[in-house]
Structures are given as C-alpha cells and as structure tokens.
Structure 1
C-alpha cells in the first residue's frame, strides 16, 4: 500500500503513533558511516525509514536505503532493535519508533550527489566525530553499531 504513513496520518492527525522503521549502517574502508542530512528535520540520520504495509524490516531497509542514499544495498547482519525515544517532527507529528538496524554492504547504485525530497546531502563520518543527529535513537543506534563493529574487528 503506497503512502501508508500519510494515509494513517490523515486519519489520526498529529496524535502520537508507534511506527516501525528500518535503517542501515554502511561503513567505508576508513570505518566511517554514511549519514544523510534530512530535508524534514535538517539534521543527520542513518538512511532508512518507515515500513510500508506488508513489508519486512529487511525489505524496508533495502528500499529506504536506496531512496535516501542512491545506493543499492544487501543486508549483511542484524545489529539490533531500538525501541526507546520519541521524535517530534517540524510539522507536529510525534512518533515512537521501533527501529531494526542492519549492517549493509553496497551492491550497486551510487551515493546521491544532488538533493532529493528526503535528503539534502550525504557524507561519511567517523563514529567519534558525528554531526548533529536527528534524535537520541539515532545516537543509540550509531553507538551500538560502533560497538558491534569493534567486537567483530
């Protein structure tokens, strides 16, 4: 079902909602993580987003990663589930998201070089030199991913 979130929001307005999301961690050869500067909140997050009705977390991660970054990815491993925190968007929408985080690897496409309706720009950042992030959940996911990668190095 296309635009599932928009359809639900049309029914409930700005009432707080629990939504499911998926995101990916893509690291380059310098162990920097790819982040996107969002058009809606004007801060940085992991490429990813809300599940559409009928999608799995993994399917949403692959689809949203391509939409946000231009990169076709494949799931390498599941890092964790993150279910704490609330986000208030500039339009007044409030969500608590349950996010599945995956380690991904590129299999095609290329990093977007022009802005889209969701992404202003993309860049790689060291885990210890992150830009202003979208929310605490994003920070928690990046901390968990850095720890997960260190444990497997």
Structure 2
C-alpha cells in the first residue's frame, strides 16, 4: 500500500524531520494454536500484521481493517495487549518516524489467508511451535497474547 496521503501532506511541510504516528499491530490467533503472519515485501521478513491509524479512525476498527487489507482474513479484536513507544527509525529515503504502537490480540472470523495487497509476498498461519524468525518485540507481543493477563502492558514512571 502506498504511503497514506495525510503522511505525504505532512512530509511536504516537515521534510524528513521526525514524525510521530500511531501504529497498530495485531496478534491474530486461531483455534489450532496458529498465528497469522505476513512476509513483508520491503525486507522479506515474516512479521505480525501492522499498520498506521488514519486520522479520525478508531484503533480497534483500524486494526481489523489492516488485517483484512493485508491478509483477506476477517477478524475481531479480543483485547488490547500493550501501548508502547517504539524507538525512532529512518526509512531509506531519509524520512524519520517514531510510533506509539497499540497492539491487539485478535481472533479470525472468516476469510482465507492470502496476500491481499502489495505490502507482503506471502501470508500464512504458523504453528506456535514452528515459527519463522521474528523480532524480539514480536515474540514479546505473541507471549502477551498467549498470557492469561487481561490488562494491557504500558510503561509508567516507576518502570
């Protein structure tokens, strides 16, 4: 998916300066102890589903939209897992960005997992005991989704 217009409009004003955005990530688990992953077109890595909150959009609605857009799977949100600021990052074109990531645990409702946009080259359900190489942060999000804890994780001044 191309860069959203609201980001392009902001970039016209701020150039490559650090842009603070609300990001979304989803841990989609089915009843067969599998997690839905996408193989990213930009770096070839398997990852959790993610995206950006559009202006005026509700986060839980947006993460369901992202799941459907990327994988053709219809899903529902079960719970908010975490609210965390990611480290600043830079894209190859020089744009700098930092995300406030809202991570949700979700369940599939229907649809067959497949590549549904140009952001990924493969989409697949992976058994939890045979996962591809994921980042430490993705493993942490997955552990949180599998945890019986029902409160979201967030950093406080005492942490």
Measure, in 2, the Cα distance between the counterparts of 1:26 and 1:148. Answer: 9
- Secondary structure at the aligned position of 2:29 is classed as coil
- Assess, with a 3 A threshold, how the Cα gap between structure 1 residues 5 and 122 changes in structure 2: closer, same or farther: same
CA distance 1:127–1:17, shift in 2 (3 Å): farther
Structure 2: stretches of 5+ with no match in the other structure: 150-159
Structure-to-structure mapping, 1:52-91, within 5 angstroms: 52-91=54-93
Aligned to 1:123: 124
Corresponding residue number in structure 2 for 1:35:
37
Indicate how the Cα distance of structure 1 residues 41 and 93 shifts in structure 2: closer, same or farther if over 3 A, else same.
farther
Q: Say which one has the larger Rg.
A: 2
Contact 1:37 1:120 in 2 (8 A): yes
RMSD, matched Cα? 2.4
* Alpha-carbon distance, 1:77 to partner: 1.0
> Which residue of 2 is the match for residue 151 of structure 1?
148
Which one of 49, 61, 65 corresponds to residue 47 of structure 1?
49
TM-score by structure 2 length? Answer: 0.76
- Where does structure 1 lack aligned partners over 5 or more consecutive residues? none
Q: Counterpart of 1:14?
A: 16
Matches within 5 A, 1:76-115: 76-112=78-114, 114=115
Q: Runs of at least 4 residues of structure 1 off by over 4 A?
A: 126-130
Relative distance call for 1:99 and 1:67 in structure 2 (3 A) is same
User: What is the number of equivalent residue pairs in this alignment?
Assistant: 146
Deviation at 1:47, TM superposition (A): 1.3
Give the Cα–Cα distance (whole angstroms) in 1 for the partners of residues 41 and 133 of structure 2: 14
